[in-house]
Amino acid sequence: MSTDRWGIDDRWLDALDTEHTVEQDTIDRLREVIGEPPADLEDTAPIVAVPGDALEVDRALVVCEDGTSVDVDGELPEDMPLGYHRIRTPDGRDRLLVVHPGRCWLPDERSWGWAVQLYAARGHGSAGVGDLADLRTVRELAQAQGAGFVLVNPLHAVGPGPEQEDSPYLPATRRFRNPVYLRLDDVPGVQLTDDDRARVTELNAAELLDRDATWALKRAVLQRTFDADPHPEGFRDWWWHQGQALQDWANWAAIADEHGADWHTWPAGLRDPHGDAVREWSTAHEPQVAFHAWVQWLLDGQLTDATGDLTVIQDLPIGVSGGGADAWAWQEVLAEGVSVGAPPDAFNARGQDWGSPPLVPWRLRAADYTPFVESIRATMAGAGGLRIDHVMGLFRLWWVPGGDPTAGAYVRYPAEDLLGIVALESHRAQAVVVGEDLGTVEDGVREAMAEHGVLSYRLLWFEDDAPADWPAAAMGAITTHDLPTVAGLWTGSDVAEQVELGTGEREQLQKDRQQLLAHLTEHPDGPTKRMGVAKAVERAHALLATAPCLLVSATLDDALGVERRPNVPGAMERPNWRLPLPVAVEDLAGHRGVRAVARALRVSSSGGSGTGGA
The domains of the chain, with CATH numbers, are 51-99 (no CATH), 117-311 (3.20.20.80), 490-614 (no CATH)
**Percentage of the chain modeled with pLDDT above 90:** 84
CA neighbor of 248 nearest in space, from 273, 265, 270, 268: 273
What's the pTM value of the predicted model, to 2 decimals? 0.95
Cβ proximity of 581 and 120 under 8 Å: yes
Task: Kindly state the average pLDDT of the residues 452-478.
Answer: 96
pLDDT over threshold 80, residue 575: yes
Write down the pLDDT at residue 419.
98
Burial level of 237, CB count in 10 A (0-12/13-18/19+)? exposed
Please provide the size of the chain in residues.
Answer: 614
Q: What is the pLDDT of residues 125-155, one digit of tens each?
A: 999 999 999 999 999 999 999 999 999 999 9
- pLDDT confidence of 610, banded at 50, 70, 90? very low
Looking at per-residue confidence, does 344 or 356 come out higher? 356
pLDDT over threshold 60, residue 494: yes
Q: What is the pLDDT of residues 392-420, one digit of tens each?
A: 999 999 999 988 888 999 999 999 999 99
Write down the pLDDT at residue 609.
34
- Give the H/E segment covering residue 224: helix 211-228
Cβ proximity of 461 and 452 under 8 Å: no
Cβ proximity of 92 and 554 under 8 Å: no
d(Cα 6, Cα 368) in Å, to the nearest integer? Answer: 18
Residue 152 is classified by DSSP as E
d(Cα 34, Cα 47) in Å, to the nearest integer? Answer: 22
- Give the H/E segment covering residue 284: helix 276-284
d(Cα 182, Cα 548) in Å, to the nearest integer? Answer: 37
pLDDT over threshold 90, residue 512: no
Cβ proximity of 303 and 382 under 8 Å: yes
Long-range contacts of 160-166 (CB under 8 A, 24+ apart): 160/219, 160/253, 160/256, 160/257, 160/261, 160/292, 161/256, 161/257, 161/260, 161/261, 162/212, 162/215, 162/216, 163/212, 164/211, 164/212, 164/215, 165/211, 165/321, 166/209, 166/211, 166/576, 166/577, 166/578
- Give the H/E segment covering residue 30: helix 24-34
Listing DSSP states for 33-50 in one string gives: HH-PPPTTHHHHSPEEE-
Task: Kindly state the average pLDDT of the residues 459-478.
Answer: 95
309 Cβ contact partners less than 8 Å away, ≥ 6 residues apart: none
d(Cα 41, Cα 28) in Å, to the nearest integer? Answer: 22
pLDDT over threshold 60, residue 611: no
Q: Hey, what amino acid is at 13?
A: L
Q: What is the pLDDT of residues 227-265, one digit of tens each?
A: 999 999 999 999 999 999 999 999 999 999 999 999 999
Burial level of 21, CB count in 10 A (0-12/13-18/19+)? exposed
pLDDT over threshold 90, residue 351: no
At CA 487, angle to CA 593 and CA 146, rounded to 5? 30
Write down the pLDDT at residue 530.
61
